[in-house]
Amino acid sequence: MLDRFDDHNDVSRSWEVFGGQLGTGCGNLSLGNSLYFGKPGYRIAHTMDLDTTNLRTLQFIVQLGSVQNTATCRRPQDRSENVFVQFSTNHGLAWSTLRELNYQFFSHKPTAVELNLPKIAKSSTTSFRWWQPIGKKGREKAQWAIDNVQVLGNHKNSKGFHDTFNPIVIENWFLTQHGIPRPGCASADKALTFAADHTEEHYAETWDFEIQSATFLQYDINLGCGYHSNPFTVQLEFSIDKGRTWSLVSPPCMPPDVGCTSYSSGTVHTSDQYSNWTRITVYLPHRAISPSTRFRWIEVMKYSGHAWAIDNVYLGDACPWMCSGHGYCTGKKCLCDAGFKPPHCVPEKPLPCELRDTFDSFSNQTVWPEIYGGEISSRCGVLVSGTALVFYKEGVRMAVTQDLDLTAAQYIQFTLKYGCHGSVPATITRGNGIFVQFSNNGGITWHLLKELHFSAETAPQFYMIPLKDPTALTNATRLRLWQPITASTSVMQWAIDDFYVGGMIVKPNVLYDPLDLIPQPDAWLFWPGGGMEDFCMSNKARDSLVFSSTEGERSLYTRDMTVMDDYVIQFELKVGCGITISPEDPVSLQYSSDQG
């Protein structure tokens, strides 16, 4: 037996009801209507006779009054307003109690109840009833409601589902507290959307499913729906005991934690990072494997709820290569993102093989599709020259690159500054450091390349990180810099400048650049403080690379080259542009054989 009370027809086909009707007088217990009891007099819901010989449990959701004490769902006062769950094996002549629903516990929120059927309740003519005894004359009792009533046997749970909420497949969901399928949150179609005008918990809970080692979970999420005033989080959890206890699918792992495979924020999603629609693909842990596992997305609430939504939920067997993190899994097949091709969602065309950014203009959203907690500015001073990418905001501090073809890449280099204007506190923990990580599957999993410990040294420092891990050298690898533990805006700020990833296995052995228009990108890495101008304002019209910046470094770096014994270097140089300069400020010609 299963009844969700979602149709608008009379329930008399399966129930005998006194004092109740379909409605939402006590709110949405699940999706749509529930069986609501608010009339005076008898309040009884009585099922038809059922054959429970081979059945095991009775499950339902109940709300007994409300601590909000609304007109249609009043706060219960004492035990006389409790509701009894009973069974009869003789057509209702005699009743035995399975559970007394206590007003103190069941008035806070819609609560799932599972009752094991005793041996004496298993017969070919068993019926169940929910009964609130008549109280004293003239005294109104608290209203109540039930939903999602089912009597289950030793059935085998489904192995998964796919729901786009257009329309919602109600068989997939046990309870959606304040979540309604509707257009919103800038979704292309309907999504399961949670409004911000409730003080009760916001969550979506699935039914039980059989989880195996090859099962994984994928979904889209949007926190804040484009606007929110205060940061909040939504967690993905699982339960293997019918919702009695819950655990995070993937707990956060941050220093000084040990024993986890990689550092990540797990399935704790923050509104800072997921304020736009984002696809998330989750490997399920071994501890979630069971014949009866359910999942829920729940907002961690402090005062009142926020607007958020989920969409395109898929639970089932993994698609090939998990769609490489660049597509949706739909029944063992991948629906690939634009620019990626099936069956594994690999790049259709070669991706860029290097990334170079001086952060001297607005951030390039193609190169850096995700930047959280930072912006291009000079608030951290000059690191190399001009502006830098400065991370100073509260919450998540992270920068993620586009996917790159790093099959021939050699290293990553950048200049980093810890602390801005004395923002390094006296006590620094390992968690305040910065991780340089890579992902070769579209951000599903992240692996550590280098951990940069936060230092009291606040001068800009140059870093070169060799790319020696072969799993990082793929045709679709993305990088990220991430500070796991932050504080307020005033402390532990940091900034990066002149970021480069690339290099070549076979180095060029010739460099020629007349420097007529712009420095040739295939010849030079960076030229901080320099720009193409008239050569020292000479009468002869001649553009040259002129270094006239008054702040930061003034230099010109070649790419790595192959240099033989008989090589020479030739160039034209003019220092001072006719003005005598101090011998303490020479222009030096240097070389490096270890990537700088």
Which tokens is 127 given? Answer: 């019926």
Instruction: Calculate the alpha carbon distances from 71 to 29, 368, 527 in Å.
Output: 17, 52, 72
The string of pLDDT tens digits covering residues 131-171 is: 999 877 767 899 999 998 988 765 667 899 999 999 998 88
| Same domain? 145 vs 84 | yes
Same domain, 495 and 535: no
Residues 173 and 130 in one domain: no
More confident residue, 502 or 154: 502
> What is the structure's pLDDT at 10?
66
Percent of residues, the chain, with pLDDT higher than 90: 60
> Which residue from 472, 463, 441 is spatially nearest to 329, judged by alpha carbons?
441
Q: What percentage of the chain has pLDDT greater than the value 70?
A: 94
Total domains in the fold of the chain? 4
| Same domain flag for 131 and 245 | no
Q: Which residues of 419-431 are buried (b: 16+ CB within 10 A; e: fewer)?
A: bbeebbeeebeee
Measured between alpha carbons, how far is 587 from 576 in angstroms, rounded to an integer?
10
pLDDT of residue 154: 59
Both 487 and 404 in one domain: the answer is yes
Same domain, residue pair 475 and 532: no
Asked if residue 538 has pLDDT above 70, the reply is: no
Residue 574 has pLDDT above 90, yes or no: no
Given pLDDT bands bounded at 50, 70 and 90, which one contains residue 491?
A: confident
Contacts of 249 (CB under 8 A, 6+ apart): 217, 236, 237, 238, 266, 267, 282, 284, 285, 288, 295
Answer whether residue 336 is part of any domain: no
Closest CA to 198 of 176, 172, 227, 174: 176
Same domain, 178 and 251: yes
Give me the sheet containing 15-18, strands edge to edge. Answer: 15-18, 43-47, 127-132, 83-88, 96-101
Q: Which of 261-265, 479-483, 577-581 has the lowest mean pLDDT?
A: 577-581
pLDDT of residue 82: 95
CA distances from 311 to 86, 184, 192, 322, 329 (A): 39, 11, 6, 18, 13
Tell me whether residue 541 is in a domain: yes
One domain for residues 369 and 407:
yes
Cα separation of 318 and 298, whole Å? 24
Are residue 72 and residue 205 in the same domain, yes or no? no
Q: How far, in Å, CA of 547 to CA of 562, rounded? A: 27
Neighbours of 317 (CB within 10 A): 14
Indicate whether 366 and 469 sit together in one domain. yes
Pair 514, 494 in one domain: no
371 or 305, higher pLDDT = 371
The pLDDT-based confidence of 490 (bands split at 50, 70, 90) is low
State the chain's mean pLDDT as an integer.
Answer: 89
Average pLDDT of span 540-569: 87
pLDDT above 80 (res 344): yes
Q: Are residues 518 and 541 in the same domain?
A: yes
Whole-number pLDDT of residue 138: 64
Across 59-63, 132-136, 438-442, least confident range: 132-136
Q: Closest Cα to residue 556, out of 590, 594, 582?
A: 590
Count of alpha carbons within 13 Å of 133, Cβ hemisphere only? 11
Output the domain CATH number for residue 460.
2.60.120.260
List the domain range (segments joined by +) for residue 246: 161-317
Q: What is the pTM of this model?
A: 0.82
Taking only the tens place, the pLDDT of each residue in 239-286 is 998 888 999 999 999 887 877 778 899 999 999 999 999 999 999 999
- Please tell me the predicted confidence (pLDDT) of residue 37: 96
**For the CA atoms of the chain, what is the radius of gyration?**
32
Does residue 556 sit within a domain? yes
Q: At which of 502, 530, 557 does a domain end?
A: 502
Lowest average pLDDT, out of 20-29, 188-197, 401-410, 528-537, goes to: 528-537
Nearest-angstrom CA–CA distance, 333 and 319: 6
